[in-house]
């Protein structure tokens, strides 16, 4: 089986290394040897750790070669990867990709091209690195009904929030630590603003619910506004804060099923399995009708973990070609509507700075009641300046389950009250049934 690898970064270099180091074992597992035909790069040079004769900057020619059976795309970003994949498929090559940004926008186009050409397209490495999530959803749970997929799918933000929780650091300091350790990119926007997690949520929702979901369908909030005070309040409530990607089926009052896909920082109770996932690790919890709750945990990024997932896909694609079969195809039969964020129900944590005077708490509680948002817990504490002089009070409200639209209306009304100086934080509370 002839293999072309596009990209020679951390993941691509590791894939090339494994192809050479494990050649005999791979051949035995597949039934034919995997032979590296070429590596597509931006810069051809003799210092890339690969024989220079295998390197080329002419990707179109490489993916169309008659001795290439499988193309492994690891170069990103959306372009030129999209054109390279479409060209490979057009020429009858099976494709493996880890390109979450591309998949979350062009899954339909790529899947239809693969179906027309009758080739495989695998993308396990696009979500959660080495953690097997895509294959269990497409194969192991193919006979079950998935209800909800929720998880921590971005290691950078999980490291930052873990540091804020354990050390009391502010966001900027925790981000600087993540950058120093190599967890954060030079431009961390895609991670800290939730774009990376939203792309992965779109992929997971599409597979779990047999409905095409794009990144634009995913409601997204990042972690840049999380404060040490939020982390401390979460601890006081027996919670920690995590950036969650949540995909679930929700039903309207008339019984119509829809898909909700969303990414935001949320309070998670310490007894929930996701609360114990710290540092740069990832975890995904899948809930299905028959299987119940399943959890997948491990390293969600990095050259070696991601290469492991790529190699798993490569072996599957190669086996299929040797045996004359094909892997799972896109399943979009359900075509469920996407639920707007306003229709989603969850619990909320609302923190506000208020005037320290009688009657304020009653006024605040009245606004929640007026918008039919039930209060589960309230805490009020004094706020002092740097010299210890009282300057107001802080009220923290934890609600029962309520619609996002009702909570938004409540927050807007609170901000208009004379007694409320500012609504400092609004966070969801996930992982409870109340």
CATH (domain of 313) = 3.40.50.720
Phi, psi of 392 (to 5 degrees): 155, -160
Determine if residue 11 is labeled as part of a ligand binding site.
Answer: yes
Asked if the structure places residue 336 within a domain, the reply is: no
Helix (H) or strand (E) holding 173: helix 171-180
Q: Say if residue 9 carries a ligand binding annotation.
A: yes
Cα separation, 185 vs 193, in Å, equals 13
Residue 362 covered by a domain: yes
| Residue 206 labelled as part of a binding site | no
Residue 237 belongs to domain spanning: 134-300
- Examine residue 418 and state whether it is found in any structural domain, yes or no: yes
26 annotated ligand-binding residue: no
Co-location of 173 and 273 in the same domain: yes
Among 369, 428, 424, 430, CA closest to 395:
424
pLDDT band at 254; cut points 50, 70, 90: confident
By C-alpha distance, which of 194, 216, 212, 199 is closest to 107?
Answer: 212
Regarding predicted confidence, which is higher, 391 or 38?
38
Contact 203, 123 (CB under 8 A): yes
What pLDDT is attached to residue 131?
A: 92
Q: What is the pLDDT of residues 335-346, one digit of tens each?
A: 999 999 999 999
* Nearest Cα residue to 6 out of 82, 67, 120: 82
Residue 86 has pLDDT above 80, yes or no: yes
Residue among 351, 357, 400 nearest 375 (CA): 400
203 in a structural domain: yes
Judge contact between 419 and 357, C-beta under 8 A.
yes
Instruction: Please report, rounded to a whole number, the percentage of residues in the chain having pLDDT higher than 70.
Output: 98
Same domain membership, residue 241 and residue 176 = yes
10 known ligand binder: yes
Q: What is the DSSP letter of 102?
A: H
Asked if residue 271 has pLDDT above 80, the reply is yes
93 and 16 within one domain? yes
In a domain, 229, yes or no: yes
Do 295 and 311 share a domain, yes or no? no
100 marked as binding residue: yes
Q: Is 427 annotated as a binding residue?
A: no
Task: Supply the CATH number for residue 267's domain.
Answer: 3.30.360.10
Tell me: do 396 and 410 sit in the same domain: yes
Q: Render pLDDT for 9-20 as a digit per residue (tens, 0 to 9).
A: 999 999 999 999
200 counts as catalytic: yes
Are 34 and 122 in a shared domain? Answer: yes
Would you list the DSSP string of 208-251? HTTS---GGGSEE--STT--HHHHHHHHHTTEEEEEEEEEEEEE
| pTM score of the predicted model | 0.93
pLDDT of residue 431: 87
What integer is the mean pLDDT of 264-290? 95
Examine the fold and report which residue of 258, 288, 323 is the final residue of a domain before the chain moves on: 323
Q: Could you give the number of structural domains in the chain?
A: 3
Residue 335 lies in a domain: no
pLDDT of amino acid 183 = 87
Residue 226 predicted with pLDDT over 60: yes
Residues 296 and 318 in one domain: no
Closest residue by Cα to residue 433 from 338, 233, 293, 336: 293
pLDDT band at 433 (very low <50, low <70, confident <90, very high): low
Cβ atoms within 10 Å, residue 362: 8
Q: Are residues 172 and 152 in the same domain?
A: yes
Q: Is the pLDDT of residue 81 over 70?
A: yes
Q: Residue 331 falls within a domain, yes or no?
A: no
Half-sphere exposure of 136 (CA within 13 A, CB side): 17
Q: Which of 90, 93, 200, 357 is catalytic?
A: 200
pLDDT at res. 392: 80
8 labeled part of a ligand binding site: yes
Residues 282, 260 within the same domain: yes
Q: Is residue 329 part of a domain?
A: no
**pLDDT value at position 154?**
95
Distance CA 122, CA 96 (A): 5
Q: Is 255 annotated as a binding residue?
A: no
Residues 57 and 175 in one domain: no
- Residues 411, 350: contact at Cβ < 8 Å? yes
Q: Count of H helices and E strands in the chain? A: 14, 18
Regarding whether 362 and 319 lie in a shared domain, the answer is no
Do both 242 and 259 map to the same domain? Answer: yes
Residue finishing a domain among 323, 356, 387: 323
Q: Is 62 annotated as a binding residue?
A: no
Pair type for strands 281-288 and 292-299: antiparallel
């Amino acid at each position: 089986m002839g293999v072309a690898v596009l990209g020679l970064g951390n993941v691509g270099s590791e894939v090339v290394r494994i192809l050479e180091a494990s050649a005999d074992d791979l051949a035995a597992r597949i039934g034919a040897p995997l032979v590296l035909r070429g590596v597509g790069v931006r810069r051809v040079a003799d210092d890339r750790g690969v024989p220079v004769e295998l390197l080329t900057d002419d990707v179109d020619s490489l993916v169309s070669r008659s001795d290439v059976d499988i193309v492994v795309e690891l170069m990103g970003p959306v372009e030129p990867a999209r054109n390279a994949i479409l060209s490979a498929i057009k020429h009858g090559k099976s494709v493996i990709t880890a390109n979450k940004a591309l998949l979350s926008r062009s899954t339909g186009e790529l899947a239809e091209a693969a179906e027309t050409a009758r080739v495989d397209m695998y993308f396990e490495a696009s979500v959660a690195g080495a953690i097997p999530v895509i294959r269990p959803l497409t194969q192991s749970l193919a006979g079950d009904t998935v209800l909800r997929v929720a998880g921590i799918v971005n290691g950078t933000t999980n490291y930052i929030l873990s540091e804020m929780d354990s050390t009391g650091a502010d966001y900027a300091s925790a981000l600087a630590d993540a950058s120093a350790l190599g967890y954060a990119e030079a431009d961390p926007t895609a991670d800290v603003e939730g774009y990376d997690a939203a792309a992965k949520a779109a992929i997971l929702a599409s597979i779990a619910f047999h409905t095409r979901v794009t990144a634009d369908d995913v409601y997204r909030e990042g972690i840049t506004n999380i404060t040490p005070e939020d982390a401390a309040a979460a601890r006081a409530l027996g919670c920690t804060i995590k950036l969650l990607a949540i995909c679930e089926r929700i039903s309207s009052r008339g019984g119509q099923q829809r898909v909700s896909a969303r990414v935001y920082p949320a309070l998670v109770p310490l007894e929930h399995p996701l609360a114990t996932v710290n540092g740069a690790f990832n975890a995904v919890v899948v809930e299905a009708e028959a299987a119940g709750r399943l959890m997948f945990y491990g390293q969600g990024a990095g050259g070696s973990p991601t290469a492991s997932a790529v190699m798993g896909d490569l072996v599957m694609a190669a086996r299929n070609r040797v045996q004359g079969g094909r892997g799972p195809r896109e399943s979009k039969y359900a075509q469920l509507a996407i639920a707007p964020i306003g229709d989603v129900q969850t619990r909320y944590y609302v923190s506000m700075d208020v005037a320290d005077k009688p009657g304020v708490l009653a006024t605040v509680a009245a606004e929640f009641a007026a918008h039919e948002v039930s209060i589960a817990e309230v805490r009020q504490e004094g706020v002092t300046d740097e010299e210890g002089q009282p300057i107001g009070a802080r009220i923290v409200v934890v609600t029962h389950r309520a619609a996002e639209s009702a909570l938004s209306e409540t927050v807007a009304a609170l901000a208009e009250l004379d007694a409320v100086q500012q609504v400092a934080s609004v966070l969801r509370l996930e992982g409870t049934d109340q």
